[in-house]
Amino acid sequence: MIVESLARRAACRAPSVLEVRDALVTWFAQHGEAQVRKGMRFTAPNASKAEIQRMVQLKARSFFHGLSSTYDQPSWEDLRRVKARMISYLCPADGLQVLERESHMWDGLLVA
């Protein structure tokens, strides 16, 4: 849903790097919450929704470590790497068909 919305906006005007970065983080949060929650089952079984969201955001930001650009000013090439890292992390947990379809849509947006 997030990538489709961004793709519709891209038909009118090219999205900025920061818009795509924010959309990637939001997309990861949507798909990655279940996996983060599963990982917290033993370390923080009584975690609140806010704590889980904080961990999801931290995990999303961790995909930006070790890149040539920063989180605040990412390059298109680094966003492609981040997307690949996110897909790799999510593959065991999410439906592969959904991830592949959305991955192709992200590829279309990251052509810039």
Q: Please determine, for residue 67, whether its predicted confidence score (pLDDT) is greater than 60.
A: yes
Domain that holds residue 57: 2-109
Q: What is the pLDDT of residues 96-107, one digit of tens each?
A: 666 677 777 777
Which amino acid is residue 50, in one-letter code?
A
Q: Please determine, for residue 90, whether its predicted confidence score (pLDDT) is greater than 60.
A: yes
Q: What is the pLDDT of residues 19-63, one digit of tens each?
A: 889 989 999 998 889 888 888 888 888 999 999 999 999 999 999
User: pLDDT tier at 111 (50, 70, 90 boundaries)?
Assistant: low
Q: How many other β-carbons are positioned within 10 Å of the β-carbon of residue 66? A: 9
Q: Please determine, for residue 1, whether its predicted confidence score (pLDDT) is greater than 70.
A: no
For residues 101 and 105, what is the distance between their CA atoms, to the nearest angstrom?
Answer: 7
Q: Please determine, for residue 66, whether its predicted confidence score (pLDDT) is greater than 60.
A: yes
Q: What is the DSSP string of 8-27?
A: HHHHHSPPPHHHHHHHHHHH
Number of domains within the chain: 1
Whether pTM exceeds 0.75: no
- The pLDDT of residue 25: 92
- The pLDDT of residue 108: 72
